[in-house]
Amino acid sequence: MPVSAARTAPLLMAQGGYSLGRVLPYLTAGFDLAQDAPVYGAGIDVALTRQLLGGLAYTKADDAERIEARLGWRF
């Protein structure tokens, strides 16, 4: 999917991983309802500080691949 394309179809996704201290590797699996196709991927989240989280995720769908980087703040 091009970067400029808007995603309006719902995805059903599940995520499971194992905590290794400050690092959480995980796998994802799901289903794209619009394309009637499976979606899967993997990622890693890291606690950079007690409140700041960072992560990378890779997702593969029937017609597209996506890599995303994210930051989060725990309140």
> Which is more confident, 62 or 58?
58
Question: Residue 21, Cβ neighbours under 10 Å: how many?
Answer: 7
Q: Is 52 helix (H, G, I), strand (E, B) or coil?
A: strand
> Which is more confident, 40 or 6?
40
Q: How many domains does the chain have?
A: 1
CA dist., res. 12 & res. 38, Å (int): 10
> Which is more confident, 57 or 8?
57
Return the pLDDT at 1. 46
Q: What is the mean pLDDT of the chain?
A: 89
Which residues span the domain enclosing 39? 11-73
What value does the mean pLDDT take over residues 34-56? 94
Report if residue 43 sits inside a domain: yes
Residue 35 is part of a domain; what is its CATH number?
A: 3.30.1300
Beta strands (DSSP E) in 1-75 are 11-17, 23-32, 37-47, 52-60, 65-73
Instruction: Provide the greatest CA pair distance for the chain.
Output: 40
- 4: pLDDT strictly greater than 90: no
DSSP state of 20: B
Report if residue 3 sits inside a domain: no
